[in-house]
Structure 1
Amino acid sequence: MGSAPFGVMLVNLGTPEAPTASAVRRYLAEFLGDRRVIDLPRAKWLPILHGVILRIRPPRVAKSYAAVWGEDGSPLLAIGRRQQHALKERLAARMDTEIPVELAMTYGKPSMEEAGLALRDAGVERILVLPLYPQFSATTTGAVFDRLARALAPCPHLPELRFVRDYHNHPAYIGALAESVREHWAAHGRQPRLLFSYHGIPKRYADAGDPYPRHCEETSRLVAEALGLEANEWRQTYQSRFGREEWLKPYTDETLKAWGAEGLQGVDVISPAFAADCLETLEELEVENRGYFEEAGGGTYQYIPALNDRQDHIDLLASLVEQHTQGW
């Protein structure tokens, strides 16, 4: 047995293993098949998913992934690995002992089973689960909890577990976001308006009690205050909707089209819900929504990268680990 007092499981959403239609189909089948993500009755939803969506969407989505795929593979996975190694180094320096850190995905690989076995092999019997979702939603953090339970179901001996629910208003998180904006302004100039774009969820989820929009609103407000922004200098929107039902509003794409039509000289865009850049930021925000704004008549469009493996982001994650492992 190892001497580490605990291990850390960093968890993010997931990614296809390759930018191909077949790999995307496998990934979407797992992702969109989760009741936390799509809560429609299975008898209604599964025929739509397997009979329509998984036949039509994978080739188109694969092209989008191919556009952002790097030499080291999926951006989300590559950045996740950098976060994993950086956090391990930071914890060792701050706690004066080596703390095992493993990366897991809710969907796809590396799986929670793989991460859990690696932590077990490292000799730890206490695990802190740290979902990389600052704002809680049942569709994301809740799905991590469910997936972890399924992964542990066959285990005859369970580890002691703690779970970070959210950190949407943590001072170090707000400070890191604000500093990333300041650095971007210093390097590229400041545009007249700052747009906070969050991944959306169906409105009825929030109506049923999901705190996600409240968490997003608090994050935006705190960052705007830290930057000293006036009310007319920033706005919050939601992106990535699909299907016909109403999602959280205002919508990012419609907002940018309207601003472009108004002749807005420029906009800076940040997406605080994403701890690592991925398809939704690198393609949807930086390319697709840029096109909406510019084609409608808007001026300069600048995307501010996610916190990724910035030093202040890793410091935040280390602080969360220290905070939630008191007594271990």
Structure 2
Amino acid sequence: MAQAPFGVLLANLGTPDEPTPPAVRRYLGQFLWDKRVIDVSRPLWWLILNGFVLRTRPKRVAEAYRGVWQEEGSPLLAIGRRQQRALKARLDAQYGCDVPVELGMTYGNPSMESTANAFRRADVSRILVLPLYPQYSRSTTAAVFDRLADALKPCPALPELRFIRDYHVDDDYIAALAASVREHWEQRGRRNHLLISWHGIPKRYATEGDPYPRQCEATSRALARALGLEDSDWTMTYQSRFGREEWLKPYTDETLKHWDIRAAPGVDVICPGFSADCLETLEEIQEENREYFMDEAGGEDYSYVPALNDRDDHIAMLAGLVARNTRGWE
């Protein structure tokens, strides 16, 4: 089978290699040292990171990873591999040729360097970079750009690159989200309220110009419209804050702890910013925040709507993004 004149890089955040404190320490050391993620003064942050964070956090995070670890590895990696295979199969059929598709992580493995080398071995000179972040943020999408640029520095001949910045209100993306919620309601029943939870960023990043919260709001409104929800039927919050700095509000955990169960004794939770289930959805949302709602707020029913993962409509949407962004490369 002939090879397509381009390759596709699926990029995501990353994961430890093992659910052990040493592996988590290596991963967090790379992740939290990135200035796109934590932009505190380097000498000060080095002392905090190495003197406190990497001494205390890895053991607790490793325990959380052990609770969600799969035979193929972490959920993010296992699902990412399934997404890679499914997208390649669809693109091969769509173009009638071999379309190289690689999975690369900003932190951890498979590294951007290994991905770049795979494309070089396949003689790929045009790469479409598809970060699996529907909403743009400096701490995620921009970090992909930085890491890929670093990985390509040793290349004597740089490939031609196209970069998908975001797809936060793409019609097919919204349709897939809405379909996942409807299917969840059909299979698990429908609760009184839909909570749309997003990964947070420091509030200061948004003040400095990061469009992330505006895009999250736009996606939330589009999803609510697609589901026919009234404003009183859904709420938008932010999860996964880190450190003492103020992050985007309202916070998911505080919202669920103080939920008005008289108005809505049951809640469905969806996290549209995550293209694949991971520690933040399977442990933080599905388990930890469920306890806040049920035990502290006295809620009656709590249900997590899974990420789009390797659903057929999600893969079809990604293939559509590839088709639109590789025009002229066929």
Q: What TM-score do the two structures reach when normalised by structure 1?
A: 0.98
The equivalent of 2:199 in structure 1 is: 199
CA displacement 1:180-200 (0-9 Å, x = unmatched): 000000011110100000000
1:286–1:303 contact (8 Å) kept in structure 2: yes
1:260–1:295 contact (8 Å) kept in structure 2: no
The equivalent of 2:185 in structure 1 is: 185
2:3–2:99 contact (8 Å) kept in structure 1: no
| Residue 293 (structure 2) pairs with residue 293 (structure 1) | yes
Which amino acid counterpart does residue 304 of structure 1 have in structure 2?
Answer: V
SS at match of 1:259: coil
The equivalent of 1:17 in structure 2 is: 17
Distance 1:281 1:190 in 2: 20
| Residue 134 (structure 2) pairs with residue 134 (structure 1) | yes
CA displacement 1:255-304 (0-9 Å, x = unmatched): 11111665731000000000000000000000000000001201100000
The equivalent of 2:87 in structure 1 is: 87
The equivalent of 1:270 in structure 2 is: 270
2:136–2:166 contact (8 Å) kept in structure 1: yes
Q: Provide closer, same or farther for how the CA distance between residues 217 and 206 of structure 1 changes in structure 2, counting only shifts above 3 A.
A: same
Which amino acid counterpart does residue 314 of structure 2 have in structure 1?
Answer: H
The equivalent of 2:244 in structure 1 is: 244
Identity %: 66
- In the alignment, structure 1 segments of 5+ residues that lack a partner are none
Instruction: Show the 5 A alignment for 1:1-328.
Output: 3-259=3-259, 262=262, 264-296=264-296, 297-328=298-329
Distance 2:92 2:158 in 1: 25
1:264–1:299 contact (8 Å) kept in structure 2: no
1:3–1:123 contact (8 Å) kept in structure 2: no
Root mean square deviation of aligned Cα = 1.0
The alpha carbon displacement at 1:4 in A equals 2.1
SS at match of 1:166: coil
Distance 2:283 2:268 in 1: 16
CA displacement 1:105-149 (0-9 Å, x = unmatched): 000000111111111212210000100000000000000011111
Which amino acid counterpart does residue 4 of structure 1 have in structure 2?
Answer: A
Which amino acid counterpart does residue 73 of structure 2 have in structure 1?
Answer: G
Distance 1:254 1:262 in 2: 17
Q: Which moved more, 1:167-176 or 1:147-156?
A: 147-156
How many residue pairs align between the two structures?
327
Which amino acid counterpart does residue 72 of structure 2 have in structure 1?
Answer: D
The alpha carbon displacement at 1:3 in A equals 3.5
1:21–1:59 contact (8 Å) kept in structure 2: yes
- In the alignment, structure 2 segments of 5+ residues that lack a partner are none
2:14–2:106 contact (8 Å) kept in structure 1: yes
Distance 1:34 1:262 in 2: 44
Q: Which moved more, 1:112-121 or 1:195-204?
A: 112-121
Distance 1:289 1:321 in 2: 35
Distance 1:107 1:184 in 2: 32
Distance 1:25 1:40 in 2: 20
Distance 2:53 2:263 in 1: 37
Distance 1:55 1:277 in 2: 27
SS at match of 2:267: strand
Distance 2:22 2:189 in 1: 42
Distance 2:263 2:224 in 1: 23
2:3–2:97 contact (8 Å) kept in structure 1: no
2:198–2:273 contact (8 Å) kept in structure 1: yes
The alpha carbon displacement at 1:152 in A equals 1.0
2:11–2:129 contact (8 Å) kept in structure 1: yes
Which amino acid counterpart does residue 165 of structure 1 have in structure 2?
Answer: R
Distance 1:95 1:206 in 2: 40
Distance 1:264 1:47 in 2: 45
Distance 2:117 2:262 in 1: 55
